[in-house]
Amino acid sequence: MSQPVKVLFVCLGNICRSPVAEGVFRAKVREAGLERRIHIDSAGTGAWHVGNPPDRRMTATAKRRGVDLSQQRARQFVADDLEDFDVILAMDRSNLRNIQSLDTSDGFNERVSLFREWDPEPGDQEVPDPYYGGPEGFEHVFDIVDRTADALLDDLRRRY
């Protein structure tokens, strides 16, 4: 049997957007019975929150909608992640640039994309940072992540 495909979600702090993407996607993968085929993690390009659980506002929104984030702890994205993961998904363009700045290959790494490239309603292809906003921002992030994770899982099932 081939190796599992490794998927990494990346935002700035690894306490709001990428943890909810990890948690929602993990729940869908488990429901599909694919947890041995798809390995999932998340990271932040910044180090401020390393070791911390996700933001309690994000955890509360996810819990209300059936997804447990409580066991997650933030870690920083490292250059080795560019080798270790097959699919690296940035939440916004700033995250994408931060990832690419650690990439010593020829500058075009096909493993790295914007997460919302898979969104059937992609808008500007960025997951808005909810950190400094109100509660509706966390609901909006959950909605985006939920539908994009469905499309991502469909695509990975076709490709791997």
Contact 138, 127 (CB under 8 A): no
Give the x-and-dash track for 17-56 against ligand 4NP (CB under 6 A): x--------------------------x---x--------
Which of residues 7, 14, 21, 40 is near ligand 4NP by CB under 6 A? 14
Is 97 in the active site? no
Q: Kindly state the smallest distance separating residue 2's Cβ from ligand 4NP, in Å.
A: 32
97 contributes a contact to ligand 4NP by CB under 6 A: no
73 contributes a contact to ligand 4NP by CB under 6 A: no
Q: Which member of 16, 17, 55, 111 is catalytic?
A: 17
| Closer residue to ligand 4NP in complex, CB, 13/23 | 13
**Chain positions contacting ligand 4NP, by CB under 6 A:** 11-17, 44, 48, 129, 131
